[in-house]
Amino acid sequence: MCATMSRRTHVVGPAYLDRVLRVDRPLIAPEHGPPLDKSVDGRTGFAGQPGTRLVLSDPLGHKITVTPPQSWPGPWGEVLLNRPMGESSAPWSREVEGTDWQDDLGGMGAGYAAALEGELVSALGSTDDVVSRAVSALLERAGVVHRPIRVAGQAADWTLLITSGPHGDKLPVGFRGCHAALGELPPESLGACDLRVVASLPNRLAAQALQAPGAGIRMFAPAMRNMLDRDTPVASFAGVIDLICCNRQEWESLEHREEVAWRVAMLAITDGPNGSTLRFTTPIGEPGTQRLDAFPRSHPPQDTNRAGEAYASTLVATLLDHGWDASVTDPALALLAGRRASVAAALVLDRRDFGFPSPAEIDAALLAGKVER
């Protein structure tokens, strides 16, 4: 996206097969809460037959029933979610219609590696695993240099990604295999680099990757499961993190979050159409805050997937391109980096496939003051 070719970037995080299912209306009725932007884990309940509907059920009794498009290959039947979808404690049900679907490259590791032109370290299953082969082919097509860690006897992770496009919902439902089964990262996979991005790994692995020597700047891009982990809490390894990028729901779910914020050089919190906030230390040693509006768009989004990765990748690349060393941050640099990150997030909303805006596209939109059709 906006990485310089001389910067060596290593990304440690998952690459998935995303099965993207687009629906025709909001996943949650407005009276029950705002649009969804959270990741959950799933497991299948009853084995649905082809032609039946897809039912997402959470622990609070919330249900979303999807009638898939005719060509939908599955899954069918009930998918049990590990966490609530909505904020309301009262049970509710919602029915939506699927409009279309596609298989695409997914996973935060793959996204950051593509956006930052970095090398990806992630787990895959055995070479005879069909999903692992599909993920490898998609990474090659995207031009991502990949150093896989093979986990014998496990399938590759994959995600059922439900999106309402212009209505703003993004609900990734993860089915975990090789990354959850990975005991530790091979030390040789964590080599010297200028920037190490650790994205959405289980915290025990994320801590290992962030604490390993050899990285100039260390960025952590957590998912909700990272924030809720009580066995290896984020606070236990926050001291080695230079930059954390997450969304508002993830941040507010984190225990001891103010302790974590105090220990990192910069914190970036995104909040969809409400913009974003940067927290940092100024050159005179005072706390600094930069509040940024979402970059204007002339039309509704096509898809909200990958907006967070576009924002965070552009933010860190802009900081590093201007000599940021994670000790202190000039407010003018924070403003510039935050603005370019907001533009990148606004631009990626027009993509329905895997990919990110170029530096030239970001600068052109910033100059124009709006993302036009």
We report the CATH number of the domain holding residue 328 as 3.40.1190.20
How many angstroms separate the CA atoms of 82 and 138, rounded?
Answer: 28
Choose among 63, 147, 138: nearest CA to 107: 138
Q: Are residues 83 and 151 in the same domain?
A: no
Walking along the chain (373 residues) 10 residues at a time, the average pLDDT comes out as 71 95 94 87 73 91 95 92 86 95 94 97 92 95 96 90 92 89 92 97 96 97 95 98 96 96 97 96 96 96 91 98 96 98 97 93 96 91
Instruction: With respect to residue 323, please indicate whether it lies within any of the assigned structural domains.
Output: yes
Q: Are residues 246 and 331 in the same domain?
A: yes
Question: Between the CA of residue 140 and those of 110, 136, 349, what are the distances in Å?
Answer: 11, 6, 23
Strand bridging mode 77-81 / 93-106: unpaired
Report pLDDT for 3: 45
If you write DSSP's letter for every residue of 140-182 in order, what string do you get? HHTT-EEEEEE-TT-PPPEEEEEE-GGG--EEEEEE--HHHH-
Give the range of the structural domain holding residue 212, as residue numbers without chain letter. Answer: 9-16+106-158+176-368
* Chain centroid, CA 31 distance in Å: 27
Tokens 């699927």 map to which residue?
98
Q: Are residues 221 and 84 in the same domain?
A: no
What's the total number of domains in the chain?
A: 2
Q: Are residues 96 and 195 in the same domain?
A: no
Instruction: With respect to residue 149, please indicate whether it lies within any of the assigned structural domains.
Output: yes
Long-range CB contact pairs, 205-213, < 8 A, 24+: 205/12, 205/179, 206/232, 206/237, 207/232, 207/236, 207/237, 208/184, 209/12, 209/185, 210/237, 210/240, 210/241, 211/237, 211/240, 212/185, 212/187
Contacts of 334 (CB under 8 A, 6+ apart): 266, 278, 280, 288, 290
Instruction: With respect to residue 4, please indicate whether it lies within any of the assigned structural domains.
Output: no
Q: Are residues 136 and 50 in the same domain?
A: no
Question: Between the CA of residue 224 and those of 7, 179, 199, 246, 337, what are the distances in Å?
Answer: 29, 16, 11, 9, 25
Q: Are residues 182 and 294 in the same domain?
A: yes
Report pLDDT for 336: 98
pTM for the whole structure: 0.88
Query: Is the link from the previous residue into 166 a cis peptide, with omega within 30 of 0?
Result: no
Q: Kind and range of the H or E element at 277?
A: strand 276-281
How many angstroms separate the CA atoms of 66 and 164, rounded?
Answer: 12
Report pLDDT for 103: 93
Of 62, 87, 102, the residue at which a domain comes to its end is 102
Q: Kind and range of the H or E element at 46?
A: strand 40-47
Classified as helix, coil or strand, 344 is: helix
Q: Are residues 70 and 154 in the same domain?
A: no
Q: Are residues 288 and 302 in the same domain?
A: yes
Q: Are residues 260 and 359 in the same domain?
A: yes
Instruction: With respect to residue 164, please indicate whether it lies within any of the assigned structural domains.
Output: no
Confirm if 193 and 7 have CB atoms less than 8 A apart.
Answer: no
Instruction: With respect to residue 163, please indicate whether it lies within any of the assigned structural domains.
Output: no
Q: Are residues 189 and 86 in the same domain?
A: no
Q: Are residues 181 and 263 in the same domain?
A: yes
Q: Are residues 114 and 41 in the same domain?
A: no
Report pLDDT for 48: 62
Of 55, 86, 102, the residue at which a domain comes to its end is 102
How many angstroms separate the CA atoms of 118 and 219, rounded?
Answer: 13
Confirm if 245 and 312 have CB atoms less than 8 A apart.
Answer: yes
Choose among 22, 173, 180: nearest CA to 85: 173
Report pLDDT for 46: 53
Q: Mark out the alpha helices in the chain (DSSP H runs).
A: 108-116, 130-141, 178-181, 203-211, 224-228, 248-252, 257-263, 307-321, 331-348, 359-368
